[in-house]
Amino acid sequence: MENKRGQWGSSFGFLMAAVGSAVGLGNIWGFPYKMGANGGGAFLLIYLILVVVVGFATMLGELALGRKYGRGAVGTYAAIGKKWTWVGYMGVASGFFILAFYSVLGGMVLRYMVGFIAEMFGMTGFGGLGSGEFFGGFTTNAGSMLIYYAIFMVLNIIIVSGGIEGGIEKFSKIAMPALAAILVVIIVYVAVQPGAGAGYAFMFVPKFEAFATNGFFNILRTAAGQMFFSLSLGMGCMITYGSYLGKEQNLDTNMVIIPVADTCIAIMAGMAVMPACAAFGMDYGRGPGLLFVTLHEVFSTGMGGFIGSLMGFLFYFLVLIAAVTSSISLLEVCTAYLIDKKIEKGEEPDRKKLTLIIASIIFVVGIPVALDGLGAGRAGGAALDIPATFLGITENIPMAVDCWLDLYDCLAEGIMMPLGALMMSILIGWVLGTKVIKDEVEETAGVKLTMYKFMEICFKFIVPVIMAIVLISQIMDFFG
């Protein structure tokens, strides 16, 4: 059984894969602008507290359950009790929908990287257009969006087909150190540009008045949602990665290393992105447009010339690495489900075939995300209507139906993931008992769960309460 499923080859390889899953678009794109818009240093303080009181415990819970039962999300919850299997299915479904929109975004990142490579060699990589114009034209061009989306998905299929040690681990062991190195180069280059200081200030200066203007609960919810997505928690991703861990691997330290590394890279990403915008006079408070429109302009008009193209290439290459190491973990959740099912039936699982099947289905489901011009709809020149128009909703369009990406995101990140995390903490805290987790950690010779008392309080009280708050406010927010 062990061999059919695969295993991590080394602790370093596992850590690179797990940190790779965590570090993704959420860190480089979401974190800096959410931090700036929600109180700067004040947001960071709340975020750090949440990582300690919610992130550590949830990370530990997922890794330990995965290793204990040796199966993916569905198999693990089924092993806990037949009546909990739905929590596992919800996880696989979340992975399915997140991967669909995540890969469309990944494809777009690839397009920008290719554009800057072309510019480095003196060609026009963006049709000679300004950043806003190019973005509008590209996102409403069905052909380009689909091609880059497809290439990104094929990359995922190739890596996940290679298996745990020979695919995911092998890729992450090279990609993650490369990502860290590129990030440092960009941070240093940006730091010496005149005017960069305002960007650090936007991010880090604590604006406690934001608690009053944005509302404390809003900030808490934004920070908690961001932390969950960023740490790849709540849908069985870390359960699945944990299921490939041997008993010799130290969960007591890994539960801390992964969240800390993820948080450091999120902060570092902010230190690259925000000061770069500030130095070249771009509006960094813009929110979601940041990754494509604003940063494109920073590199092509702000920095300009060969160095601008080189930095642009390096930056989007870094984002691409971050996106791929995350998307493969989402695909693995779905693939592992099919593999476990085969093994349960006593059949020989064919990883390559199963990966190809599930990725193809996900690709089809993601097509609407690639075709509605990210919310422009047919009215804005895209090939497909936005969900609201599609479904005939005209009045008071809630966020969930203003584009296909938001619809998928709201289903997965908005509802299923917080519900999944809530269920897991209740199961560990109140049904199974936290001792199960402690025993699993202490399966490793010489290892003691150092924060047991604290973890118990987290599982029983803190995580369920925070997740309930997130779930309720998320639903209210997404549906207007």
Query: Should residue 27 be labelled a site residue for ligand TRP when binding is judged by CB under 6 A?
Result: yes
Do residues 77 and 67 make contact, with C-beta atoms less than 8 angstroms apart?
no
Radius of gyration (C-alpha) of the chain in whole angstroms: 22
Terminal Cα-to-Cα distance of the chain (whole angstroms): 47
Do residues 284 and 277 make contact, with C-beta atoms less than 8 angstroms apart?
yes
CB of 399 to ligand TRP, least distance (A): 19
CB of 188 to ligand TRP, least distance (A): 24
CB of 21 to ligand TRP, least distance (A): 5
Given 18, 19, 22, 63, the residue binding ligand TRP (CB under 6 A): 22
CB of 381 to ligand TRP, least distance (A): 29
Separation CA 270–CA 291 (nearest Å): 12
CB of 412 to ligand TRP, least distance (A): 8
Which CB sits closer to ligand TRP, 190 or 333?
A: 333
Residue among 150, 189, 123 at smallest CA distance from 371: 150
Looking at residue 427, its amino acid is L
Given 183, 237, 416, 467, the residue binding ligand TRP (CB under 6 A): 237
Our CA angle for 132, 105, 269, nearest 5°, is 80
Q: Which position has the token pair 């490793």? A: 444
C-alpha 278: how far from its chain's center? Answer: 26
Helices in 280-415 by DSSP H: which ranges?
293-297, 305-344, 351-371, 387-391, 404-409
Residue among 200, 214, 204, 222 at smallest CA distance from 41: 204
Given 6, 24, 75, 414, the residue binding ligand TRP (CB under 6 A): 24
Which CB sits closer to ligand TRP, 27 or 473?
A: 27
Within residues 205-234, the interface with ligand TRP by CB under 6 A covers: 229-230, 232
- Size of the residue set binding ligand TRP (CB under 6 A): 15
CB of 120 to ligand TRP, least distance (A): 27
Which CB sits closer to ligand TRP, 6 or 55?
A: 55
Which CB sits closer to ligand TRP, 232 or 249?
A: 232
CB of 95 to ligand TRP, least distance (A): 6
Which CB sits closer to ligand TRP, 109 or 400?
A: 109
Within residues 83-112, the interface with ligand TRP by CB under 6 A covers: 98
H/E stretch holding 222: helix 216-230
Query: Should residue 235 be labelled a site residue for ligand TRP when binding is judged by CB under 6 A?
Result: yes
Query: Should residue 326 be labelled a site residue for ligand TRP when binding is judged by CB under 6 A?
Result: yes
Q: Which residues, other chains included, contact 143 with Cβ-Cβ below 8 Å and sequence gap of 6+? A: none
Contacting positions for ligand TRP (CB under 6 A) = 21-22, 24-27, 98, 229-230, 232, 235, 237, 326, 329-330
